[in-house]
Amino acid sequence: MSAMRIVAAVMVAAIVGVACDRSHDGLLDEEFETQNVDIVTYTGVDDDNCAKFRLDGRDDEPAVMLFTSVKAPANVKENSRLLLTYSIKHRGADGSYWDVDAIGYSRIISDSLRVNSNPIDSYSMHPVKLSSTWRTGEFVNMHGQVEVTSRTRQLFMMVDKTTRGRDTVDAYLVHNLMGAPADSIFYWRDFYLSVNVGVLRSTKDPCRVLRLHLNDANRGGMEIREFKFSKP
């Protein structure tokens, strides 16, 4: 568990580029003025070399493909998880895709579910201020705040290996300030975290409930959030 996960301020980057021509072969809806902000997966470019993204549905709802009219974002690899700001221009007839105006994106903390190699109580679980947590397909996502320090930190989700293979699996949000002294803690800053927990669905006896334990400063201590999976 030596890998670092740096929580840093990320400015929303403008997505700019040469516009692509797209034909709207689905139902033509009214234009949407409201801006949406969602965690999405960048899936590369379409046949017109325009950026596209996948918006996984809440829980086990189907995903929606987001097609844009801009070139690929700079220095972003395929399958990267991003916080995308966009507005919907048109919806496809079957609801499986939207044409969108991509306004900007932010990089977020993205990881896969880890497994403990030491006793659970040996891992640091420094408080976070949790705003929301939700599942989209194989991803558990979080939005909250962490204390900014002068050092790199660890922030990841770890499953208790003794519960693997059970109907209910326990996981923990590990948050290690790496020994930052009290006088190096400056203020609270927003973070987004997206963790791929798909491994829990690939076992012979897949998980039905993921029970996440985390130290939430908003609620004064250890709390539990549960995520239910439908049968595969």
Say which CATH number the domain at 43 has.
2.40.50.500
Q: Distance from CA of residue 73 to its chain's centroid?
A: 18
**149: amino acid identity, one letter:** T
Residues 119 and 84 in one domain: no
What is the rounded CA–CA span in Å between residue 128 and residue 110? 17
What is the rounded CA–CA span in Å between residue 228 and residue 211? 9
DSSP, res 58: B
Give the predicted TM-score (pTM) of the model: 0.85
Q: Residue 67 pLDDT more than 80?
A: yes
Tokens representing 168 are 């209910």
| CATH number, residue 172 | 2.60.40.2370
What is the rounded CA–CA span in Å between residue 135 and residue 39? 11
Residues 213 and 142 in one domain: yes
**Cβ–Cβ under 8 Å, residues 137 and 62:** no
Residues 83 and 141 in one domain: no
Domain for residue 44, yes or no?
yes
pLDDT category at 149 given cuts 50, 70, 90 is confident
State which residues form the domain around 171.
109-228
Residues 94 and 168 in one domain: no
| Low-confidence winner among 21-30, 146-155, 157-166, 194-203 (lowest mean pLDDT) | 21-30
Residues 214 and 117 in one domain: yes
Domain count, the chain: 2
> Can you give the pLDDT at residue 72?
86
Residues 121 and 217 in one domain: yes
> Can you give the pLDDT at residue 216?
97
Residues 121 and 139 in one domain: yes
Q: Residue 32 pLDDT more than 60?
A: no
**Cβ–Cβ under 8 Å, residues 12 and 81:** no
